[in-house]
Structure 1
Amino acid sequence: MVSNDSDGPRPVIGLPTYAERAVFGAWDTRCAILHHSYVDMVARAGGIPVLLPPTGVARPELVARLDGLVLTGGADIDPARYGGPAVPHGYTRADRDESEFELFRLARAARLPVLAVCRGLQLVNVALGGTLVGHLPDVVGHEGHSGGPGSFTPVAVTTAAGSRVAAVAGAKVTAHCHHHQAIDRLAPGLTATAHAADGTIEAVETTSGPFLIGVQWHPEADSADDRLMRAVVTAAARREERAA
């Protein structure tokens, strides 16, 4: 049985990483890396973080060893996947797309609880048949969601009454945002359950099936609030209890 109790077994939570060049110590080399704030968030919430490099790891035998999945932030989704035009802003990573679309498919088939963060939310929407806004400032007329280089912007978000994200995070959220894309056409099977004042969709969830919440903001950036991650850990525990 999976538990977030410090004395019991803890759920194993998968975290997809970037394959990027990094400099550390005497080394300047290609690495599998991820912001440590994701690792810290999972650990604080009672899970065991496991880093997943984007190189052929999206297989059923891997997913069978996971209790939950956080689809992490990062590069833009290749617009060819949703029939969008090339975007002159941002960047894409084909290796992450190839790995993580399959990882999400397998996780859903295995009924793993999923928290999708920023790029992760966008991936979920595209994987289920939705589309994206290529460059959000062109639509809303400002860069209030974008943040500066290496920083987040606080954005006031209102959640939908009765939604799962409202039950977890509350009616109002001060979201930590760093994104220049967003959901355009919402995928079938998803419900938009939080919005910014300019109408940007800031959270989605499913009305049926296994636990799935996607947020356009970065919960890992707020070390004082782990409620979304704790919800994933709790869902993982309940899933294992039903399977026992």
Structure 2
Amino acid sequence: MTRPLIAVTTSQRSGWRIFPLVALNIWLAGGQAQRWDAGRPSDLDGVEGLIVGGGDDISPELYGMSLVASARLDPARDDLERRLVSGALDRNMPVLGICRGAQMLNVALGGTLDQDAYASHQDSRRYRTILPRKRVMLRPGTRLHAIAGAAPMRVNALHSQAVARLGHALQVAARDEGGMIQAIERTSDPFALGVQWHPEHLFYARRQRALFRALVCAADAYRCGSHQGGAVDRSADGAAPA
């Protein structure tokens, strides 16, 4: 059987260097990646899964607020990704959000963002590195906990915004030591997971590769009309991360 095709949204400016890393992780997980951005065709009917990648901050206009901190915005990308996330979930298609993508998942489902997350969470240590220095705790009983294991996880961090009020049908899956939300997930099909860090840079870590494997398993279930949560759970049971 052919590999599930996963669309990956990127910035027009920096996607050339980000996409190859995400594509590598998808390939290692058994899928195949296709790059999308605001200047490329984007037809959800031609793919089985969606990754919303990292990049610039999301405009607060999308969640009914005004800009209160300096940020680099990309309105065309905002419009594209909100439409794609909504369209994917309407189709029951699985979604993985990476950093900005986790925030877009939340916003597309009616949630809000904290534009200056480290001012609001002063006990959260601020890092700006692709190295795994930030410690996050996974919430027991969540799908992320089943996918990546119970132990605290070391991740990287490049963000300034974070999830504030949760969107519809989402729950918190991980927080850092200062209480800032670091991962969110849907509680039922379609599979949807958003992580505040960049697992594509951590492809050498089995627990990070497990996130991409979960999406690919859900995408395979989607094209077969099967239950995505069950497919992800079976995959996690068969390859429990160390």
Equivalent in the alignment of 1:212? 192
**Residue 112 of structure 2 is aligned with which of 110, 125, 131?**
131
User: Structure 1, unaligned stretches of length 5 or more?
Assistant: 1-7, 23-31
- Cα contact 2:23–2:33 (8 A) shared by 1: yes
Q: Contact 2:139/2:145 (CA < 8 Å) preserved in 1? A: yes
Report whether the alignment pairs 1:64 with 2:45. Answer: yes
For the pair shown, the structure with the greater C-alpha radius of gyration is 1
AA at the equivalent of 1:73 = G
Percent of paired sites with the same residue: 33
**Contact 2:127–2:134 (8 Å) recurs in 1:** no
Is 1:167 aligned to 2:146, yes or no? Answer: yes
Please report how far the alpha carbon of residue 232 of structure 1 lies from its aligned counterpart in structure 2 after TM superposition: 0.7
Greater helix proportion = 2
Question: Aligned letter for 2:84?
Answer: L
Alignment of 1:76-87 (within 5 A): 76-87=57-68
Distance change (3 Å), C-alpha of 1:143 and 1:209: closer
Please report the RMSD computed on the Cα atoms of aligned residues, expressed in angstroms.
1.8
Counterpart in the other structure of 1:231: 214
- Counterparts of 1:124-203 in structure 2 under 5 Å? 124-141=105-122, 144-148=125-129, 151-152=130-131, 154-171=133-150, 172-203=152-183
Are 2:10 and 2:54, in contact at CA under 8 Å, matched by a contact in 1?
A: no
Please give the alpha-carbon distance, in whole angstroms, between the structure 2 residues aligned to 1:98 and 1:56.
13
How far is 1:84 from its partner? 2.3
Q: 1:242: how far off?
A: 2.5
**Residue deviations 1:22-41 (CA, integer Å, cap 9, x gap):** 7xxxxxxxxx6351211211
- TM-superposition CA deviations, 1:45-97 (whole Å, max 9, x none): 11111001213734xxx111101111101111101111223143331101100
- Describe the superposition over 1:175-208 as per-residue Cα deviations: whole angstroms up to 9, x where unpaired: 2211111011112211011111100111111112
Partner of 2:9: 16
Aligned AA (1:238): A
Work out the number of aligned pairs and report it. 221
| Partners of 1:212 and 1:105 in 2: CA distance | 12
- 1:237 aligned counterpart, secondary structure: helix
